[in-house]
Each structure stands twice: as structure tokens, then as C-alpha cells.
């Protein structure tokens, strides 16, 4: 009987130990599982905060860039407001998604894609705004030139000093370079390495641009840069930084250019040929090309891709 009691006591203690070990294992599992969930939550919140920061950066940069164009012209201001409202509407949609703070991985990736789309539309609209701003500047210059001609008639009988000023202006205009015989063609590379001209947009790999610079003995000889704008059917300057695109100062404003050509000007007639690659496919429609040098537009032409 005594031995049975001892055996029962041992069994009782063994059962207690087994229960304690099971509880300990359960607590350990819950602890690490909870810790893992917390880490996952922190990673999701961090990724969401990064997306919010990226969105805020795009909006801040856009506001700063648009401010450069404001107050110059009523038509331009109305265009700016329209494009800014479109971008803000797009940004608000992204912001509403990010405000939930409980995004799945798929939702977060979608939000980041939306932010990339916002950057694309920002660049597209800024190109359109730049093109419109340039057109307005040219119109203002033509109006100013017309007004100057009228004023010149009124000042016909002024003193010799004013005559000298007019003479200096004529010399400056005479020094302006002039580009003529401007020709643009789409080019496709053949398998044998030779190029073939084509006006089919789907086949164009790059543009071949040729023109002639007239002789000019008023302009000083030396190194010259010709900035070339290829303007698409949508009215915006086509841009490919990897192919040499950038910006230049024209009449006090930054303006985009598609490519630039540098050459040694010797005052005599010069034929120039260059190539430009867009980096993406060309669309159908009418294109425009404008050439700038020494602060003047020196020539322009149009071409069509079908």
C-alpha cells in the first residue's frame, strides 16, 4: 500500500512537470509569433512612410517648378492652373490610399507605381508649359518689334546719338546667323550597316537633321553652339537626356532642347548634318524643328511621320 502511494505521487509530479513544459512552450511560441507580427507591421509602416515622403517630394518640386512660370501671362497662368489641378487630383487619390496606414504589399506596390505615373505626368506637363511659354515669348518679342518700328518712325528726326544707337542695332541684327535648307528625315539602320530614310513612324530609329549656315562676315568667327528643339505633335519639346538633351537660356528663360551641335564658324557657308535618337518610338503626326544660336532663333521647319 505504501509503495502504491509513492508511485501515485511520482506520477502526479510527472504530470505537473509535463503541464508546465507545455505551458512554457505555448508562451514561447506566442511570444515569438507576436514579435514577428510586430516586425512585419513596423516594416509595412516604414514602407508607407517612405511612399508618403516620395509623394510629398514630387508635389514640392512641382510647386517650385510651376512658380517659375506664374505671373507672366494670363493665358499661361490659366494653363498652369489647369495642369496643376490635374496633378493635385492625381496626388489626392494616392494620398487617400496611403492614409489608411494598413497597406498590403500589393497595395503598397500599386501606390508606388501611381507615384511614378505622377512623376511622368509632371514631366509631360512641364514640357507643354515650357513650349507654351516659349511661344508666348516669341509673340511678345514680335509685338515689341512692331512697336519698336512705330516708335522708330516717330523718332526719325532725333539727334545723331539716336542714329548711332539704331546703327548699332542693325549691326547686331546683321550678325545673326541664318539657317536654311533645313531637312529632317527618319532613319532606319539596315542589316548591312547602311541607313535608309523613312517617314513611317513605326520604323524610325533616329532623326537625320541637315541644314546650311549662311556665310556671315559680320558675325565673329569662332566656336558656335546651335541648340535644336524637336517639337512633337502635342506641342512639347522632345527630350532624351542620354542622347544629349538639356536646357539653355533663351531671352532670360530656361528652355528645353533636344540636342546641341557645336562647330567652328569661319564666316563662310557651312553644311551641317547630325543625328538624334529619341530613346522611344516616334508617334504619327506633324513635327516642328527650331534652331537657336547666339540668343536668336535662326531657323525652323516642319516634317511629318505617318
What residue spans define the domains of the chain?
2-132, 177-305
The answer to pTM > 0.85 is no
Burial of 201 from C-beta contacts in 10 A (0-12 / 13-18 / 19+):
middle
Cβ neighbours for 243, distance < 8 A, ≥ 6 positions apart:
259, 276, 277, 278, 279
pLDDT score at 11? 66
Using DSSP's 3-state secondary structure scheme, residue 217 falls into: coil
Cα(72)–Cα(84) distance, rounded to whole angstroms?
A: 16
Cα(261)–Cα(240) distance, rounded to whole angstroms?
A: 15
The answer to whether the beta carbons of residues 253 and 137 sit under 8 Å apart is yes
pLDDT score at 29? 52
Pick the CATH number of 177-305 from 2.160.10.10, 3.40.50.2300, 2.60.40.10, 3.40.50.300: 2.60.40.10
Kindly give the parts of the chain with pLDDT less than 50. 31-32, 34-43, 45-46, 160, 164-167, 170-171
Using DSSP's 3-state secondary structure scheme, residue 98 falls into: helix
The predicted-structure confidence for 204-250, as pLDDT tens digits, reads as follows 999 999 999 999 888 889 999 999 999 999 999 999 988 889 999 98
Cα(25)–Cα(31) distance, rounded to whole angstroms?
A: 10
Cα(221)–Cα(36) distance, rounded to whole angstroms?
A: 73
Cα(94)–Cα(114) distance, rounded to whole angstroms?
A: 7
Q: Cα separations (Å) of 278 from 129, 136, 166, 239?
A: 20, 26, 43, 7
pLDDT score at 270? 93
Using DSSP's 3-state secondary structure scheme, residue 192 falls into: coil
pLDDT score at 136? 72
The predicted-structure confidence for 103-135, as pLDDT tens digits, reads as follows 666 766 776 777 777 777 777 777 777 777 777
Q: Cα separations (Å) of 240 from 209, 233, 293?
A: 16, 16, 20
**∠150-154-158 over CA atoms, to 5°?**
135
* 34, three cell numbers: 507576436
* 126, three cell numbers: 512641364
- DSSP class of 234: T
pLDDT score at 281? 87
Amino acid at each position: 500500500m505504501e509503495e502504491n502511494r509513492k508511485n501515485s505521487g511520482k506520477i502526479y509530479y510527472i504530470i505537473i512537470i509535463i503541464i508546465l513544459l507545455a505551458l512554457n512552450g505555448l508562451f514561447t511560441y506566442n511570444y515569438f509569433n507576436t514579435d514577428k507580427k510586430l516586425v512585419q507591421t513596423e516594416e509595412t509602416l516604414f514602407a508607407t512612410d517612405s511612399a508618403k515622403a516620395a509623394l510629398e517630394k514630387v508635389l514640392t518640386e512641382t510647386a517650385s517648378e510651376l512658380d517659375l512660370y506664374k505671373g507672366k501671362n494670363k493665358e499661361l497662368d490659366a494653363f498652369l492652373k489647369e495642369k496643376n489641378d490635374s496633378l493635385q487630383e492625381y496626388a489626392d487619390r494616392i494620398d487617400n490610399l496611403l492614409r489608411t496606414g494598413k497597406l498590403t504589399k500589393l497595395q503598397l506596390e500599386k501606390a508606388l507605381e501611381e507615384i511614378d505615373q505622377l512623376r511622368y505626368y509632371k514631366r509631360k506637363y512641364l514640357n507643354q508649359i515650357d513650349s507654351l511659354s516659349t511661344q508666348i515669348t516669341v509673340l511678345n518679342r514680335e509685338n515689341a518689334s512692331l512697336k519698336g518700328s512705330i516708335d522708330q518712325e516717330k523718332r526719325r528726326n532725333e539727334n545723331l546719338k539716336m542714329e548711332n544707337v539704331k546703327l548699332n542695332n542693325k549691326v547686331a541684327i546683321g550678325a545673326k546667323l541664318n539657317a536654311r535648307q533645313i531637312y529632317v528625315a527618319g532613319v532606319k539602320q539596315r542589316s548591312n550597316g547602311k541607313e535608309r530614310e523613312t517617314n513611317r513612324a513605326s520604323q524610325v530609329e533616329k532623326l537625320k537633321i541637315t541644314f546650311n549656315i549662311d556665310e556671315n562676315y559680320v558675325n565673329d568667327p569662332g566656336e558656335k553652339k546651335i541648340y535644336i528643339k524637336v517639337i512633337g505633335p502635342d506641342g512639347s519639346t522632345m527630350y532624351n537626356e542620354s542622347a544629349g538633351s538639356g536646357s539653355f537660356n533663351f531671352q532670360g528663360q530656361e528652355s528645353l532642347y533636344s540636342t546641341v551641335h557645336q562647330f567652328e564658324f569661319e564666316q563662310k557657308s557651312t553644311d551641317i548634318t547630325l543625328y538624334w535618337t529619341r530613346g522611344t518610338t516616334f508617334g504619327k503626326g506633324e513635327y516642328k524643328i527650331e534652331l537657336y544660336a547666339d540668343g536668336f532663333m535662326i531657323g525652323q521647319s516642319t516634317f511629318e511621320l505617318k
